[in-house]
Structure 1
């Protein structure tokens, strides 16, 4: 799905990944679930592109619903996969998340689990190799994506700021659809290792001025970073 001149999304409001397109090629942000591979290929085709045009894949963190087709892209198509150094072991499957479920509703949770199951969430292949990145680093990839450290959901969670797309890709630093309750709108994400730290990390993006806030779960948000952060803080206080 095309969101803007340089911006595409695959997946849906349950699990999503993104493509940045420039004259230099394509950067992919997050790899969803293994079954999103066919959607990746189809979206590229609709753009007049192919897998050969992908210059790199950036992971916002190392959880299984964000690394789905990453190893396939790296192994079979020589696409480098970038992840924050603090989440490299997580992306390789050497450490596992420690967060609990927290609040949930049976229907919404079942929809998330069923969708993940249909899209290969039970057969995730971890990364064999990654390229470690750090906070503040600007990657030599289409769109000149800048890494913003957002620890909390995981130690190496990041946001990815791409000015040419007027967008910040936030992974699970926040969500606009809680996958366990179905509640819409900007709010803290579930399965977060350190909720207090995750909330504090939002200061890293609120003054960016980017229109698009693009989470791994939920609808794309186009009312600006500052408004999204304001609503998340209000939602956190209401808990």
Structure 2
């Protein structure tokens, strides 16, 4: 497997296919100065490997102070309980995916992967459309972008004058058993387009750089599902 890598100043890829395991979503780390932010946790089997990757990048895993779960699917939340046990980090998620994250069930999609989900307690619940969190010297905007799941969120961080958007699973897919709503998803994508992000860190297809490339990627899926 390859190692993690630097995406831009203070932002790193630390998990996903080729880094921690083929079942994992893309997992991102943000250096907030006084503490680390982790975005999503993967399926669960690659947590120890992810900790090795974080160390190889020069960081100390116990410095992870916050874990944001962008939505309630197993490939994004499966490692959350283990990470929380290892680091004592604060777990953040939206209220509309809270029941699934804290109690499990079919909406995790764990059955598709043949794994068991270990539920985790959410410490900070995002309510409504947006919430700003301060961690270290950074401001982290959690933006409600439902459609893939009811409680999907995207995360926007400005680092070194670059707007970095963590827009997990922009590409879908959609299924009624997950509570998906493609009409609401389209509204969410328009919301993301309005952010003018310089870098997009997506949930399974990696990193897109430059405002034009970010826009093309999002608009491409709007066209695909039109």
Same fold (TM over 0.5): yes
Structure 1 unaligned spans of 5+: 100-112, 176-187
Could you tell me whether the CA contact under 8 Å between 1:59 and 1:82 is conserved in 2?
Answer: yes
Could you tell me whether the CA contact under 8 Å between 1:97 and 1:154 is conserved in 2?
Answer: no
Question: Pick from 153, 163, 167: which aligns with 1:158?
Answer: 153
Instruction: Say whether 1:60 aligns with 2:47.
Output: no
Q: What's the CA shift for 1:146?
A: 0.3
Instruction: Say whether 1:137 aligns with 2:131.
Output: yes
- Which is further off, 11-20 or 89-98? 89-98
Could you tell me whether the CA contact under 8 Å between 2:146 and 2:188 is conserved in 1?
Answer: yes
Query: Could you tell me which residue of structure 2 aligns to residue 5 of structure 1?
Result: 9
Alignment deviations for residues 4-32 of structure 1 (CA, whole Å, 9 cap, x no partner): 12111121285211101132221000111
Query: Could you tell me which residue of structure 1 aligns to residue 55 of structure 2?
Result: 45
Higher relative contact order (CA 8 A, sep 6+): 1
Structure 2 unaligned spans of 5+: none
Q: What's the CA shift for 1:80?
A: 0.8
Q: What's the CA shift for 1:44?
A: 1.6
Could you tell me whether the CA contact under 8 Å between 2:93 and 2:122 is conserved in 1?
Answer: no
Query: Could you tell me which residue of structure 1 aligns to residue 203 of structure 2?
Result: 216
Query: Could you tell me which residue of structure 2 aligns to residue 226 of structure 1?
Result: 215
Could you tell me whether the CA contact under 8 Å between 2:47 and 2:83 is conserved in 1?
Answer: no
Alignment deviations for residues 111-132 of structure 1 (CA, whole Å, 9 cap, x no partner): xx7xx56xxxx13311134321
Call closer, same or farther: CA 1:95–1:31 in 2, change over 3 Å.
same
TM-score of the pair, normalised by structure 2: 0.81
For these two proteins, the number of residue pairs brought into alignment is 205
Mapping of residues 18-97 of structure 1, within 5 Å: 18-97=28-107
Greater strand proportion: 2
Q: What's the CA shift for 1:190?
A: 4.3
- Runs of 4+ aligned structure 1 residues displaced above 4 Å come to none
